Amino acid sequence: MIEKCSVVLSKDQEARLVEMVSRGVAPARTIRRAHTLLYAWEGYSDERIAELLRCSPNTVRNTRKAFKDRGLDSLYEKPRPGAKPRLDGKAEARLVALACSQAPDGKGHWTMQLLADQLVVLGLVDKVSDETVRRVLKNKTSSRG
């Protein structure tokens, strides 16, 4: 049997949750968590809350447990680990300038792989893929021609 984590809200916490769901300006997951805590505070069962919010009873249980462990901070997503970007701002700027420059001798235009190789030659990075180069250039608003 899974232990049920009861939700006990202070007046301040309840007011913050009510304001959050009333304004509806937060991300959908955050608002659903706020609704979950408010329904739990009102005494609804996990199954009923799941039915009302169209989510899994496990989601409700996890929200209760997170609230017990972290309080209202549990409403917000924890930072997720990710790889450090290969190109910093300086390298991105050099990449854009390079892409806008004249292509190397014997080449009609810059390819993503040529750009990636040139960044390594210039010593801006140890290694970088053509896909990273493509993604960085795509996110820039400049046009190559």
Q: What are 114's two structure tokens?
A: 């040529």
Say what the pLDDT of residue 30 is: 95
Domain count across the chain: 2
Is 143 a member of any domain?
A: no
Q: What is the mean pLDDT of residues 106-123?
A: 94
**Is the pLDDT confidence value at 145 over 70?**
no
pTM above 0.85, yes or no: no
Range of the domain at 132: 89-138
Q: Are 137 and 99 in contact (CB under 8 A)?
A: yes
Is 69 a member of any domain?
A: yes
**Is the pLDDT confidence value at 23 over 60?**
yes
Residue 22 sits in the same domain as residue 68: yes
